[in-house]
Structure 1
Amino acid sequence: MNYLVAVLPDRIQVEAAYSALEKAGLPTSQVNILGDGYLSADEFGMIDPDKQARKQSTRLFWWLVPFGFFVGYVFNYLTEVEIFPQFPRFGNEFLAGILGGIAGGLGASLIGGGTSITVGSGDALPYRNRLNAGKYLIVVTGNQDLTREATRVLREFEPENIQGYTDYSQKSKLLRN
């Protein structure tokens, strides 16, 4: 499956481009318009970077908090550092484990959430930003010949950006898994 995504600045141009694709004989079932008054990014199935970031952060949280607790406990056990001298040795080790778990949780939220938003969203985030800015997208899905023909037609409208994607695994970086 191939995808072709073109960014057009306004509704008039996107409707003219859609009509031109229709006149060129492209099946309208494989042409989608995203933007105000048409499909939203969520309705089309575009990846939501915030959801992906939360999912990655949660996954890391379940690994890093127990690991942080274990490392904090073991580190304090080996070094015998007294965090609070009035606590018994086990109390200091347990407190170090809790602090290690907290550090693991913070790491999961910062690394899992922040990195996933910027890296894990592929090209979906720039396209969502353009939709939020009032621009329109035309997405053509189909075989290589269809997207090549659509590229030829859409170039006449001088889109801000035109990008093709080939999806060999049937799971695109642009669409949800």
Structure 2
Amino acid sequence: MNYLVAVFPDRIMAEEAYTALEKKDIKSTILGRGYKSADEFGLIDPKEQAKKQAKFMSYWLVPFGFFAGFAFNLITGINTFSWAGEVGNRLIGGLLGAGSGALGAIFVGGGVGLVVGGGDALPYRNRLDAGKYIVVVEGVDSAKRETTRILRQLEPENIQGYAAE
């Protein structure tokens, strides 16, 4: 499915674009105050994606960190806490390794999710937060030229085409 996204500065311009497209039997959707929200339309929230990515990475990084910390203490024989004994030091090493794995999941998983999770959704969310309106046209390539021509006549702030995978 292909999408054509146009950003308009106010509600009147967005409604004018919607009406012009409707006259040509082109289905479109308006996003903004009083219309669909970004969440209702399905724009990905990068913060949610970052949380999901961090949680996913923690499933394998925390256990791996525990075993790595345990093995490191076993190999080196470091006696950091004399009160804990030999087995206690190995368990503490494992817990510290698990903590390191959790931090890695948060920083790497969350950071990657925040950077690449949103794609172009974040700029569009920011524009909606700034009070602008977005007209989204879902359709096939054959109607794309006519749709672009109609929207360009109304002079949107931005117009962008996307091909959904």
SS, match of residue 83 in structure 2: coil
Letter in 2 for 1:100: G
**Shift of residue 33, structure 1, vs aligned partner:** 0.3
Q: How far apart in 1 are the matches of 2:54 and 2:138? A: 32
Letter in 2 for 1:14: A
Please report how far the alpha carbon of residue 46 of structure 1 lies from its aligned counterpart in structure 2 after TM superposition: 1.8
User: What is the rounded CA distance, in whole Å, between the counterparts of 1:82 and 1:125 in structure 2?
Assistant: 49
Q: Which runs of 5+ in 2 are unaligned?
A: none
Distance 1:121 1:164 in 2: 17
- The count of corresponding residues between Structure 1 and Structure 2 is 165
**In the aligned structure 2, how far is the partner of 1:4 from the partner of 1:100?**
48
Question: Which deviates the most, 103-112 or 44-53?
Answer: 44-53
Question: Superposed, which structure 2 residues align to 1:88-107 within 5 Å?
Answer: 88-107=85-104
Structure 1 residue 39 corresponds to structure 2 residue 33:
no
User: Does the 8 A contact of 1:8 with 1:135 survive in 2?
Assistant: yes
> Is the CA contact 1:26–1:146 (under 8 Å) kept in the aligned structure 2?
no
State the 1:64 CA deviation: 0.6
1:86 corresponding residue in structure 2: 83
CA contact (8 A) 1:141 1:147 kept: no
What's the CA shift for 1:95?
0.2
Q: Determine helix, strand or coil for the equivalent of 2:154.
A: coil
Q: Which letter maps to 1:9?
A: P
- Show CA shifts across 1:115-171 (max 9, x none): 20221111111111111111110000010122221111111222221110112x3xx
- 1: CA distance, partners of 2:71 / 2:107: 24
Describe the SS at the equivalent of 1:88.
helix
Aligned to 2:9: 9
Give the equivalent residue in structure 2 for 1:126: 123
Deviation at 1:45, TM superposition (A): 1.7
Match of residue 70 from structure 1: 67
Task: Find out whether 1:154 has 2:151 as its counterpart.
Answer: yes
Aligned mates of 2:25, 2:110 — CA distance in 1 = 40
Q: Which runs of 5+ in 1 are unaligned?
A: 170-177
Cα displacement (A) at 1:91: 1.0
Answer whether contact 1:4 1:164 (CA < 8 A) is retained.
yes
Write 1 or 2 for the structure with the bigger share of helix: 2
Q: Which aligned runs of 4 or more in structure 1 are off by greater than 4 angstroms?
A: none
When the two structures are superposed, what TM-score results if normalisation uses the length of structure 1? 0.88
Give, in angstroms, the shift of residue 54 of structure 1. Answer: 1.5
Give 1:93 deviation, angstroms: 1.0
